[in-house]
Amino acid sequence: MSRYKLVIEYDGRDFVGWQRQDNGLGVQQVLEEAVKKFCGEKVRLFVAGRTDAGVHALGQTAHADLTKDTDANTVRDALNFHVKPHAISVLSVAEVDDEFHARTSAKERAYFYRIINRRPPLALEEGKAWWVPQPLDAAAMNEAAAKLVGHHDFSTFRAAGCQADGPVKTLGALTVGRLGEEIHIKARAISFLYHQVRNIVGTLKLVGEGKWTPDDVARALAAADRAAGGPTAPPDGLYLSEVVY
């Protein structure tokens, strides 16, 4: 039996999230069925981080164990053939040792959030970014983001139903920058709370609009109360961009 590490990208719009669920199609289900079509094996894919409905991935990582005598490139190409017509691409496959685990071996996860900040609505990018028509001050948002970097109780940005052991996390990096009409928010941490990034983005938007100051964000963090934070940003603009091992 061999263990394979898969790096995957997908468009989250057509899925109920990563996880196999009864209420719709999950990315996990499509890939596990692709494995069965390829080699007849019923496998369970283990993933670095479960994404929600509508959330995309540029570098999701998973692993699976196969008994079939094959090689990594064959696995990659076979899975890409069998996931059709779904918007999923297996970017790379590598054979790894039995100690590797997509979730527990991960040292850092990176998320990327796209806001398209323009007056005209989206045509080509609908569902792939958050359209915000009112002007946003990206510099002020970046100043506010710096208040959240570090080891904190992130209860203010933790959604109900979060299954993490506790609200304390270390946010290694959080930056906001503008590139033309797009605002990019990048976050890195060992792990994140449920909806943590989306709740942070919704809060930073208030700063960008001039409704909050960076100090308001610091006070909201200190309150350790979800009611003290801003709204939850939609899933459209969120991408799991990288998992570091």
Residues taking part in catalysis: 52
Q: Which of 203, 226, 196 is nearest to 144 (CA)?
A: 203
Q: Which of 128, 100, 99 is nearest to 115 (CA)?
A: 128
Q: Is the peptide bond before 121 cis (omega within 30 degrees of 0)?
A: no
133: left (phi over 0), alpha (psi -120 to 50) or beta: alpha
- Long-range contacts from 159-162, C-beta under 8 angstroms, 24+ separation: 159/193, 159/194, 159/195, 159/196, 159/199, 159/226, 159/232, 160/226, 161/194, 162/193, 162/194, 162/195
Length of the chain: 245
Q: Which of 146, 154, 208 is nearest to 182 (CA)?
A: 208
Report DSSP state, residue 53: T
> How do beta strands 150-153 and 88-96 pair?
unpaired
